[in-house]
A = this chain, B = another copy of it.
Amino acid sequence: MNSIILQQPGKIVFGENSVLQIADDNLIQSSKRILFLVASPLLNAVQPVWDKISSTDKQVVVIEYNFPGEPTFVQFDTLLNKSDYFRPDCIVGVGGGSVLDCAKLLAALTENTQRLEEVVGIGILNGRVKKLICVPTTSGTGSEMSPNAILLNEANETKSGIISPFLVPDVCYIDPVLTASLPASLTAETGMDALSHCIEAYTNKFAHPAVDTYALKGIELIAANLQKACENGQNMEARSALSLGSMYGGLCLGPVNTSAVHALSYGLGGKFHVSHGLANAILMPKVLHFNMSADPKRHAEVARALGVKIEGTDEEIALAGIEKIIKISKACGIPQRLTEIGITGEVLSELADIAMNVTRLLKNNPREVTKEDAIEIYKKLM
């Protein structure tokens, strides 16, 4: 087997109500100044944690995160100013991917000489001295497991990736209870995003057996539980399964990562502010349809993990897998066409241009994607 680097938090606490254990974590216990960055809807759920910490000799600052959409460079700088002022030795991020990406970058850039603009790209970050705990509240972006942070550079309307091993958190608390209040639409979009992490890792040009294990199990868990969680957000069995599936999706991101689904969604997010999960959900079936000829066997294995039982050729099974994804997506209320989210024909060329620039993901795709291919895929979704 080829050499691969798996990076993950050294400690993952998984399970219902695990968030309440944070106050006793070694990382908190060995810190004096702790900064919480918390998404607004989670403030009440996490308050007992910082109340407990504040009752000791530790200093706690809580920053409420309430920016809409993907975080921008300017928004991040306002957070960084607050963090620089407080000088924490531990950062705790509680929220979806945007919040966690910001928490990860705060841990790296607080009291650092490097500025955000300088660290965009792969492996440029010079280190991280602040301890970092991530608590995901969606299932999910997988940010809590990954070395990636994606922010929106408003200067050029493009999403910018900061990729560094220093961005992998030290510790994660994955508590399905925190996802119970997530509305069905967000459950669906973030769940489809997690599904695409697994599928794009398994069908990846650089797929690896050590990551395949996570990818297939993630596909199985998400496919079997996403609709249930959308129908009843309080179904803790489904929520737990999604949290685990999303964790596996996150573990795929560092070593293998995603491919054309994510690349083609870049423009939808960066330029048209379509939410990340929704963009991926709409694109996934048509991109898989485009890709499957490059590796019918792996696409058939994805279909099996999705729960497809039919017998037939790899192509037939793979196609049934794509149908299954569409079925789940529709059942969860996700629009199936770009026109439904306000995308018109005249922007497709621009979207394709943006996608062509995401070479760090396109290089992973099992089949080469030209600009014309990208436009064709977008067109099929009109």
Which A residues fall within an 8 A CB radius of B? 1-18, 21, 26, 165, 168, 170, 176, 209-210, 213-214, 217, 240-241, 244, 247-248
In contact, B12 and A9 (Cβ under 8 angstroms): no
CB-CB under 8 A for A11 and B6, given A1-B240, A1-B244: yes
In contact, B14 and A210 (Cβ under 8 angstroms): yes
CB-CB under 8 A for A15 and B4, given A213-B213, A244-B209: yes
19 extra interface residue pairs, beta carbon distance < 8 Å, beyond A4-B14, A209-B244, A210-B247: A1-B15, A1-B16, A1-B176, A1-B244, A3-B18, A3-B21, A4-B13, A4-B15, A5-B14, A6-B11, A6-B12, A7-B10, A9-B10, A10-B168, A10-B170, A11-B165, A14-B210, A210-B244, A213-B217
State A8–B12 Cα separation when bound (angstroms): 9
CB-CB under 8 A for A13 and B5, given A209-B244, A210-B244, A217-B213: yes
Complex interface: chain B residues within 8 A of A21 (CB): 3
19 contacts between A and B (CB under 8 A): A1-B14, A1-B16, A1-B176, A2-B15, A3-B13, A4-B14, A5-B11, A5-B12, A5-B14, A6-B11, A6-B12, A7-B11, A7-B12, A8-B12, A14-B210, A26-B165, A209-B241, A209-B244, A210-B247
Complex interface: chain B residues within 8 A of A241 (CB): 209
CB distance from A22 to the nearest CB of B (A): 12
Complex interface: chain B residues within 8 A of A11 (CB): 5-7, 165
Complex interface: chain B residues within 8 A of A26 (CB): 165
A14 in complex: contacting residue of B6, B9, B10, B16, CB < 8 Å: B6
Complex interface: chain B residues within 8 A of A168 (CB): 10
State A5–B16 Cα separation when bound (angstroms): 12
State A150–B210 Cα separation when bound (angstroms): 27
State A114–B5 Cα separation when bound (angstroms): 34
CB distance from A149 to the nearest CB of B (A): 17
CB distance from A369 to the nearest CB of B (A): 28
State A176–B210 Cα separation when bound (angstroms): 13
Complex interface: chain B residues within 8 A of A18 (CB): 3
* Chain B residue at smallest Cβ distance from A166: B26
* Chain B residue at smallest Cβ distance from A248: B213
State A209–B15 Cα separation when bound (angstroms): 10
A10 in complex: contacting residue of B8, B209, B247, CB < 8 Å: B8
State A218–B13 Cα separation when bound (angstroms): 22
State A2–B16 Cα separation when bound (angstroms): 6
Complex interface: chain B residues within 8 A of A14 (CB): 1, 3-6, 210
State A300–B8 Cα separation when bound (angstroms): 32
Complex interface: chain B residues within 8 A of A2 (CB): 15-16
* Chain B residue at smallest Cβ distance from A172: B6
State A18–B255 Cα separation when bound (angstroms): 15
State A281–B10 Cα separation when bound (angstroms): 31
* Chain B residue at smallest Cβ distance from A214: B213
**Most chain B beta-carbon contacts within 10 A, residue among A12, A14, A244, A248:** A14
State A7–B12 Cα separation when bound (angstroms): 6
**Most chain B beta-carbon contacts within 10 A, residue among A10, A16, A240:** A10
